[in-house]
Every structure is written in structure tokens, then in C-alpha cells.
């Protein structure tokens, strides 16, 4: 794909979101089950932040505090998403080029960009993996059938 291609061509249109008042134990479960590393935080239909696995791990401090699994879960249950999410996330419009999206991700050292519509609603998500797939569409995962 060309670097001038719009992100709407590769963005994920179906993605999990959370509200800012949800608890981190729920986010932890959704991330583990969905095998995702980033989740847009949406309140009243508007994007208000992004919570990442990194935010979750930093909040839990499970390794430093030597929590067992139950203690970690109890601790995460006590924290709202709004306390750890990246507020005012960097976003792009559907018409943003892949080159511009990649440059933003590199400049800000982030792994995903929420794609927002004119009203501030999350309409898609572009991740590092999406950009790599667009750049190297001929590559197949190890063990994939041809």
C-alpha cells in the first residue's frame, strides 16, 4: 500500500472500548481475552482517553509488590480507568495518510491511534501491527497456509 493511503483503508472498525468509570480488573480481563494492548476510553459516545497494557501494568505494580493473582485482582478492582488512562489522546481523522499516522506514532512513542469522526466519536483504531501489515502485505505469519 502507498504511504499516501488513508488510514480508513486499514483501520480496525470493530474494537473494544471501556468507560472511564470502569475498573481495571475488567480492563485486564478484556485485554487478556481479546489479546489487545490498547483500548479507547469512551464516555457519552466521545473518545476521552486510551488505556494500554503498559498503563495497566504500571498501575498494578504486581511484580514490585509481589502480589499473588488474587491480591493483584483485588488491587486492580479498586482503581478506575480514568486514574491511569492517557487523557487527551493523539488521534487522527479517517483521511489521514498512513505515512502521517506512522510519523505521529514514532514521534510520540505510542502503539495506537484512535481514528475519530467529526464529532469526536471513535470510528476506528490503527495500531503498529496494522501499519506493518499494510507495508508488508505479502508476508504471512509462520505456519500460515498459502
User: pLDDT tens digits, residue range 72-109?
Assistant: 777 777 888 888 888 789 999 999 999 999 999 999 99
Nearest to 97 by CA among 9, 11, 3: 3
Give residue 142's pLDDT.
62
* Blockwise average pLDDT, block size 10, the chain, 146 residues: 90 92 89 89 92 80 64 78 85 96 95 93 93 81 56
Are 60 and 51 in contact by the 8 Å Cβ rule? The answer is: no
Give residue 139's pLDDT.
60
Domain boundaries of the chain, sorted by first residue = 7-135
Within 13 Å and on the Cβ side, how many CA atoms surround 48?
A: 15
Assign 3 to helix, strand or coil.
coil
Burial (0-12, 13-18, 19+ Cβ within 10 Å), 88: exposed
91 secondary structure, DSSP code: -
Give residue 146's pLDDT.
46
The CATH code of domain 7-135 reads 3.10.580.10
CB neighbour burial string for 37-59, b if at least 16 within 10 angstroms, e if fewer: ebbbbbeeeebbbbbbbebbeeb
* Cell numbers standing for residue 31: 485485554
Query: Using CA atoms, how far apart are residues 145 and 140, in angstroms rounded to an integer?
Result: 8
Amino acid at each position: 500500500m502507498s504511504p499516501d493511503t488513508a488510514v480508513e483503508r486499514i483501520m480496525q472498525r470493530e474494537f473494544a472500548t471501556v468507560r472511564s468509570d470502569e475498573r481495571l480488573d475488567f480492563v485486564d480481563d478484556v485485554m487478556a481475552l481479546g489479546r489487545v494492548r490498547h483500548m479507547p476510553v469512551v464516555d457519552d459516545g466521545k473518545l476521552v482517553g486510551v488505556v494500554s497494557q503498559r498503563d495497566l501494568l504500571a498501575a498494578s505494580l504486581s511484580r514490585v509488590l509481589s502480589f499473588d493473582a488474587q491480591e493483584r485482582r483485588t488491587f486492580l478492582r479498586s482503581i478506575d480507568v480514568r486514574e491511569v488512562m492517557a487523557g487527551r489522546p493523539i488521534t487522527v481523522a479517517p483521511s489521514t495518510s498512513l505515512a502521517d499516522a506512522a510519523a505521529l506514532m514514532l514521534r510520540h512513542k505510542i502503539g495506537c491511534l484512535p481514528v475519530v469522526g467529526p464529532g469526536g466519536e471513535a470510528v476506528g483504531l490503527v495500531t503498529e501491527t496494522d501499519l506493518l501489515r499494510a507495508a508488508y502485505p505479502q508476508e504471512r505469519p509462520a505456519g500460515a497456509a498459502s
